[in-house]
Structure 1
Amino acid sequence: MKMKKTMNQSTRSYILNGFSILALLITALLLLFYSNMNSRLYTANQERFDLTYNANRFMNGSSYLTNEVRAYAATGDTVHYDNYWNEVNNLKNRDQGVAAMQEIGITKEEQALIDAMSNLSQELVPLEENAMENVKAGNMKEAVDYVYGKDYDAAITQINSLKSQFLETLDSRTFAEVQGLLQLCNVIKVAIFLALALVCILLVVSIRSTQKRVLRPLVIIRDQMGEISSGNLSSEFPLESDTSEIGMLVKAIHETKRDLKTYIHDIDSKLAQMADGKMNLAIDLDYHGEFLPIQKAMRQILDSLNNALAQIHVTAERVSASSERMASGAQVLSQGAMEQSASIEALASSIQELSHQVTNTSEDAETAHACSTQAAGALMVCDQKLRTLISAMQDISNAASQIGGIIKTIEDISFQTNILALNASVEAARAGEAGKGFAVVANEVQSLANKSAEAAQNTSNLIENSLRMIKQGTALTTDTANSMDEVMTGAKKATELIAQIAESAVQQAQSLNQLTSGMEQISSVIQTNSTTAEESAQSAQELYGQADELKRAVQHFQLREQSALGTGYLR
């Protein structure tokens, strides 16, 4: 918008102040001139007075001489004579009056009148001297004739006429000079009053101009700046800009309000769009001055938010995928833990059954030990009871058959225990870290099963030998006595082996008890793992749901063009 052209306030102030100063200078000069005129008027009045005084002194001196000489001629009194010569020789009022007037200043005309009066006075001197000489001589009548005669009177009349003319001329001239100076003083007074009036008018105009063009706008500007400082940029600002200083200030305020409104509107618009999720904005408005850091900060905020949200978006994708895999794995782990728990329960049941069987085996071993002891006793009395040898051998054969059945049972138990140990090892391997303890127990069970199988095999071999020997004893009853020693030896060995079998059966029972306790602990751990796996599966499912919600929330933001890695953006 084109600004209205107007005079600068400083120029207007300079002009008004210049005129005021000029008027004051003129007033000062008029005052000086008036003071000078007053001095001249006073001097003129003083000179007029002095001229009149000295003119009167001159004329009075001349009249005084006339009066004294006439008095002396009429009376003969020497006082008048002395006074006359005192005036002529000492007082010299006429000469001093003329000298004083000449010193003050008189015109040629006035000087001519003085000269005329002096000449006439000089013409009277011989008459006056003759009169005084006649008075001294006693000729009073002649003396009076000299000073009262026609010649003397005519001269006095002329002198008086010249005196009047001189006084009129002198008074007219001095009066005219005084009047001229007085009129000039009056003119100067009027000029001074006019200059003072002009100064007052200029001061009033300057004050009114300052009040109208400076103070009132400054009050409005002050109120407007107060509104701006309180954040009110929509308040009415009635002043219009022009080319003056105040107008330029008003223009600056209008531009400031416009720029502030533009910046605030732009910031409000950008923040509102950012609040709506539009992060693909560009700070395209150019900020100026102290607002440049705000523009830079907004760009940095947008850049940071785009980077952060892009990273969150990528992370949400990864968390969602990872949580989905975790949920699936947790479900599989929970299912495996439940299956392990069921397998461990079945294994614990089998081990309990095996424990009962081993207990029975231990009892049977003790029974076999008692039988072998009895057999040994029978062999010791076999010499007295040969008749009952066949029956005893049959009993031994039956006992050996029972022992063979027991050995078979032990071998079956050992085989089943070995299979269970293998299954337990497999389950422990599947359980990972949680199944390490169980793997140790399974290895111990397998070791015990191998030992049981080895003992059962040894026992089976011994039983077979015993049966073979019994068969030979039955067949060779006649050789019983000869072979009694050998039988006694075999019986002792059989007794020892059976004792060992009984001891091994007791150890197996103890080991199975420990195995049962370990299986119970493993079952408790697996049950805990199953519960934990179920909780982990539930937590993973919740994490997957939250990651999906985070991904949807991040997708609400409209980001700038993402890079392939999701770690930056393109403008």
Structure 2
Amino acid sequence: MGFSTSIALSRKLPSIIAALCVVASVSIAVVGYLDFRQNVFQDARKNFRILTESRGNSLVSWFENIGQNVASYANDPTVVAALGSFGSSYDLMIDSAGLRDAYITNNPNPPGERAQFDQAPESVPYHFQHGRFHPYFRDIAKTAGYYDFFLFNRRGDLMYSVEKEGDYATNFADGPYADSGLGSAFTAARDGEQGQVYFADFAGYEPDGGDAAAFLATPVFDQSNQLLGVVAVQVPTGQIDEIFNNPLGMGDTGRIYAVGPDLRTRNAPRFDAAVGRLSDVSDATQVNALFNGGDTFQGLTTGISGDDMLSKGALIDVFGQTWAIIGEITSAEIETPVIAARNKMILVTVFVVGVSAFLGWLTARSVVRPLARLGEAMGRVSEKDYDVDLSDQKRGDEIGSLFNSLDNFRQKLRASDLAEEERQALQVKQAEVVNRLSIALTKLADGDLQHRIETPFDGDYDQLRQDYNRTVLNLNKTIGSVVIRSGAIRQRSDGMSRASDDLSRRTENQAATLEETAAALDQMTASVKSAADGARQVKEVVGSARDDADKSEPVVKDAVRAMTEIEGSSQEISQIIGVIDDIAFQTNLLALNAGVEAARAGEAGRGFAVVASEVRALAQRSSDAAKQIKSLISESSGQVERGVTLVGQAGEVLTKIASHINHISDLVAEIASGAEEQSIGLGEINIGVTQLDKVTQQNAAMVEEATASNHALNGDAAQLEELVTHFRLDETAIGGSAVQDNIMQFVPQPAQQTPDLPSYHDARPAVAKVSGGGGGREDIWQDF
């Protein structure tokens, strides 16, 4: 087993396919060869069975026809007349020697053509009768194919024969040929019954030179049923040979021969000059088997010529005698198509083996090379090289399914890597955003309104930067406005305090300086009115600042919500990583199942077991990577949570700032209310200047109350300035140098001792100086 697994699949698979093809081809060839050989032998056996039986039946029919013809001669008037005529004329001859001399010795025709001599020249009755009947009997012998035609009288004298051989004019009852076949036929017919034909089987016949001869004879009776004689014919052996030696259906070496009860042949078989008619075949196994009741089919045996033959026999009855008809054909001829088929099968087998080996190599190549490409592609995919050729996924077989699975796995790995890269990039961006935003919020919490986040954030995070910068800008404007208004309030309240003090000191001289006081009151009225207007404006600005602070709170909430959404996105990424981990687990499980199925498949599934093992390893590595990614996401979630906390703290700071602004708004409202009251009071003073004397005491009290209120307002303004000193403002965001110049107008000046007014004329410039309020404005922010 270890050796088989150590062999490369590119060599093992073609070898297995070629071996299977060889085994299959050889098995089919061997089975086909054996079946074909068996069928050929069965066909030969069937053919020779049919052939021998048909030839035997033909021989029997032929003998029956001859027998019928011979039997018909007994009733032939010509034959009857010839027996009568030849009998009376033969008896008139002195001896038979004269007839032999006349038709044999003195026959002008050579032996074999003596039948052409019709009548001897001597004037004897016999010659006359011979000339009369000879042409008729010669035609019968020629037409029927007999070797000879015989007429015997009751004594056994051969009175007539067509061929005039040596047996002519001899007696077959006690003569030299009485024991011959013709003599036996004559004796049987003479002693037989009317209408019966008697057969003398083939034997050597001396008048024919010892050649085989067979005879048929039948008695002839007259009308009174007296025996006239016997008519006999010599069976033509040539026609028997034609029946048996007809080559139709016997191939090149087939032969059929008949064997009589004496175990001698009755015809001359084909292609064997050594075996002729009446040859002794008693040593032939198939002949003895037939006559001893054995199987008519002897299979492969030794023929009568000594060759290996396929023998098939049949028994026939010839006039009461059993003949064996035996057909033989050489095994070489039978096996000729078998050998040819065997050679073809060998060639076909070799060709099929070659083609199978080539197809096996192609098949193995079509399997091994895609598998090699699959292994290479899997290796490259495992190394995160996703630009690999997976064109084999278009195949419709299992390899195509594997490539499709690898392509899906590659897409998932690529998506996972992209997600990881995006996550890492997002994490870097988040860290950078959180870091820079944390620094900015820290500075904002420290009151530094000059700090800006200048470098844009990536993507949607830039909105946080813009919101932050806009918030700082709004805070700069708001706090700057508060600073300006608070300085103005302090300056005006300080001026009002000094004015009240001056008023209190000059109250004693009020009557004297009524005119100047009226003028001063006009100016003061305008100044107070202006202060009231400024207080209202401060109130509106503070209200606007409060609105901006209220508006900044949703911005902070949106920032917190954005950070919360980032945290939610991190959780969703963690869930996706969990899904990837589940996919890796399922892939590992599927790879394990594939390994089990491959193990069940045995040798055929070993290659797939290796693939399943590799897929399982990849799934394990994917699971480990997913766990690492999940850990990193968890750390990122912690950082995002800290960012949310910082943003929340920034929101709390902004809420406190909004609270202070609300307090400032209340204070400014009180200042505006006081300024309005002062404006009303000055108006009444201006109206009631004519009654100044009457209400001087009331004015003094009112001045004292106003002085106390101004001192209180001055203290509140100082506290407001202390609050705004915490912030470092960006001058460009609140108007630059022009605003600075405006602010310098409200720089508090140290209190100066006003000298006693010497006279009415000296007080006017002092009042103008107080009401002008424009001296020493360069150092308004010196306390900051």
TM range (shorter): 0.3 to 0.5
Structure label with greater radius of gyration: 1
* TM-score, normalised with respect to structure 1: 0.38
The higher-RCO structure (CA 8 Å, 6+ apart) is: 1
* TM-score, normalised with respect to structure 2: 0.29
